[in-house]
Amino acid sequence: MDAAVTNVAMAALVADGLLAGLSLDKVIVQLPARRKIGVTAYAAYARAADLGNGIAFYAAVGVGAALLTLAAFAVAAALGAPGDVTGLLAAAAALSLLHSAATGRAAPAMFQIGRAGDTEEALTPLLTRFARWSAARAAVQTATLIVVATAIAAGT
């Protein structure tokens, strides 16, 4: 595999790994805590964290990972990387787009949490929707990470 393909794919791997880790932490660690501390307390945390510094951080990591994964596929296709590598990176690029689409469904729920009243009736359905889309995002992003790693392994 060409060094340029390897370099961009490795950068995508690092970014996808960071994003997958963040997504899994949200789904496995953070969101279940709402059942112990209550939705009002969790919403206060989400407003301070996700809707605070998280907005810029999550956006930068999410957009950066997607762009690097798409770039890895584009470079592989442009430089004529082996078919299995290019195919795997095409799949990873498609998965990145699916992750972005799922984020497009999760993010509005989080922004609504920021504006919702502090009642269980208002917050529970929003947090449930956010959790559902976050689980989908975590699954797709983890798959993206695995596919990029497989593409790199296939090219070595």
Note the pLDDT of residue 132.
98
Cβ–Cβ < 8 Å for 123, 113: yes
CB burial of 19-32 (b: ≥16 within 10 Å; e: otherwise) equals bbebbbebbeebbe
| Domain range summary for the chain, segments of one domain joined by + | 3-154
pLDDT digits (tens, 9 = 90+) for 67-78: 999 999 999 999
Report the pLDDT averaged over residues 128-154: 98
Nearest in space to 102 (alpha carbons), one of 13, 19, 15, 14: 19
Q: What is the pTM of this model?
A: 0.93
pLDDT computed for residue 110 by the predictor: 97
Q: Given phi > 0 = left and psi -120 to 50 = alpha, else beta, which region is 80?
A: left
Percent of the chain topping pLDDT 70: 100
Tens-place pLDDT, residues 105-138: 999 999 999 999 999 999 999 999 999 999 999 9
The pLDDT assigned to 19 comes to 98
Question: Cβ atoms within 10 A of the Cβ of 53, count?
Answer: 10
Contact residues for 58 (Cβ-Cβ < 8 A; gap 6+)? 22, 50
Of the pLDDT bands very low, low, confident and very high (cuts 50, 70, 90), residue 12 is: very high
pLDDT given at position 115: 96
Residue 47: is its pLDDT beyond 80? yes
Question: Tens of pLDDT along 15-28?
Answer: 999 999 999 999 99
80-106 pLDDT, tens digit each:
999 999 999 999 999 999 999 999 999
Q: What is the pLDDT of residue 38?
A: 96
- The band of 1, judged by pLDDT with boundaries at 50, 70 and 90, is confident
